[in-house]
Amino acid sequence: MNKSSFLTVASNIAISKQLLKPVSIRSRIELLKLLEKHIISNRTEIQYALLKDMGKPHSETDLTEIIPVITEVRHAINNVSKWSSDTNVKRTLVNYNSKASVKYTPKGTVLILAPWNYPFNLILSPLISAIAAGNRVVIKPSEFTPSTNQVIRSIIESSFEPEQVSIVEGDASVAAELTAMPFNHIFFTGSPAVGKKVMEAASKNLASVTLELGGKSPCIIDKSADLKKAASRVIWGKFINCGQTCIAPDYVLVHKDVADEFIKHALTELKRRFPDAYEGKNSDDSYGNIIHEKHFNHIKGLLKDALADGYELLSGGMYDESTRFFAPTIVLEKSLNDELGIMHEEIFGPLLPIRTYESENEVFEKIGSLPRPLATYVFSKSKPFIRDCKERIVTGGFVSNDVLSHFIHQHLPFGGVNNSGTGRAHGFYGFREMSNETAVLETGIGPAGAEILGTPYTRFKKKLIERALKYL
């Protein structure tokens, strides 16, 4: 089908406000099993597609794209029956002869707008939640990952009928056409700037939205931290996927008393984990490339401005425009210029600024001066300090003594706060996000509230209302 045909299918799905026939739990499970089968059988194709689109190593594709999706789909298969069951709630005095429950029903039609940085994972994971909840779905992948999109299309068309799940490719203009359609729910992953446009478009149809955005996720390292372990985990979490990860540590706040030792360990870890890239060589089989020229130039500009403003280059800084290779780079802040881009906007690339601090208040003031982050990481052996960070920092996810790991925890919700997003994904939380929570009240034999407390308001009923105000 051509673009027009795919948009027609998408439009038909969008205007199907109610599913003609509810998708049974058994059918949902069978669809998810079929999806799992085709993902596994296409593992090699997925690996080579991501290598072509992003220079992503095969092992990294397994680790960050395929394994999380397989984990998600198996978790849904094993739990969708339980998730879909009506949840009974307690009776109240007013509704004493009624049975109350919460029923999860499909939202109806869902649009998934996916990004380029994890082009397989961030399409398939929300799709799994949408199917588990019984919805029809249209997915629109990024135009910057054509090889990956081709494999995804093959998997989707082998697993679903077009009326159940359809894929539409194209640029931002296609996304704009899709968001204008009357979907019941839109799931978007991308930048806050585009997220605002998606929310505005959704508001015209009063559609609910899930916005998985980004922001400057801080990493705090206090004096008590295991510095070698912290350095190893921060370097891995920052530079995996060439830094193009929404929950990567965006900048480091390290106590001045241990800054030199932390930096020493960080440089050692950088050389150990990415030996060729550390030397500026585009031959490291554990390191990828920047997605496209515009983003490459953005990162290059951030580094140029930082160095011009007095930042000290600790490692990296080398790049190759022809291949979009950008060496993993660490800089040390000297100027404390918070208006500079590198400390004012999400970096989303292999560039890690380090800032020192003296007091805890400096940490909270800096983080509080920026929009609320998608994730916050704290390395410390001090339980009181970790507790203070957990209580004082408003963030989508909070992790102590590790990075990124909350994303793959099957029983935790994933999402942001305000500028970093709204709504939740993964596991039961993704299922619930794609469902309507319907209040069900089944009144039994006997008097109801209308007879007991309703009009006419006799003297006796007025006394009952007075008692209700006191005891209910």
pLDDT, tens digit only, all 472 positions of the chain: 556 665 666 666 666 655 557 899 999 999 999 999 999 999 999 999 999 999 999 999 999 999 999 999 999 999 999 999 999 999 887 777 788 999 999 999 999 999 999 999 999 999 999 999 999 999 999 999 999 999 999 999 999 999 899 999 999 999 999 999 999 999 999 999 999 999 999 999 999 999 999 889 999 999 999 999 999 999 999 999 999 999 999 999 999 999 999 999 999 999 999 999 999 998 888 999 999 999 999 999 999 999 998 899 999 999 999 999 999 999 999 876 666 778 888 999 999 999 999 999 999 999 999 999 999 999 999 999 999 999 999 999 999 999 999 999 999 999 999 999 999 999 999 999 999 999 999 988 777 777 777 788 888 888 888 887 877 6
User: Are 343 and 355 in contact, with CB atoms under 8 Å apart?
Assistant: yes
H helix intervals, 333-433: 360-368, 383-392, 427-433
* Enclosing H/E stretch for 210: strand 208-212
Q: Cα 28 to the chain's mean position, in Å?
A: 23
Look up residue 261 and give its two tokens: 């030792």
DSSP secondary structure code for residue 370 in this structure = S
Q: pTM (2 decimals)? A: 0.92
Residue 250's closest CA among 220, 287, 211, 206?
220
Residue/partner pairs of 157-162 with CB below 8 Å, 24 or more apart = 158/34, 158/38, 159/31, 159/34, 159/35, 159/38, 160/31, 160/35, 162/9
Give the contacts of 100 (CB within 8 A, at least 6 positions apart).
88, 89, 90, 91, 92, 439, 440, 441, 442
Give the pair of three-digit tokens for residue 465. 């209302």
- Indicate if 218-415 has the same CATH topology as 3-213+421-436: no
Q: Are 28 and 134 in contact (CB under 8 A)?
A: yes
Which pLDDT score is estimated for 385?
97
| 246-261 burial code (b ≥16 CB/10 A, e <16) | bbbbbbbbbbeebbee
Can you say whether residue 277 is alpha, beta or left, with left for phi > 0 and alpha for psi between -120 and 50 degrees?
A: alpha
Give the pair of three-digit tokens for residue 191: 């930048």
Class of residue 23 by CB neighbours under 10 A (exposed 0-12, middle 13-18, buried 19+): middle
pLDDT at residue number 92: 81
Domains of the chain, residue spans: 3-213+421-436, 218-415
pLDDT of residue 197: 96
> Which sequence positions are flagged as catalytic?
212, 246
Query: Residue type at 48?
Result: Y
Classify domain 3-213+421-436 at the CATH class level. alpha beta
pLDDT on residue 17? 54
Of 412, 401, 411, 356, which Cα lies nearest the Cα of 377?
401
Return the H-helix or E-strand segment holding 128.
helix 121-132
Give me the architecture of the 218-415 domain, per CATH. Answer: 3-Layer(aba) Sandwich (3.40)
Q: Give the residue among 146, 152, 150 at the shortest CA–CA distance from 120.
A: 152
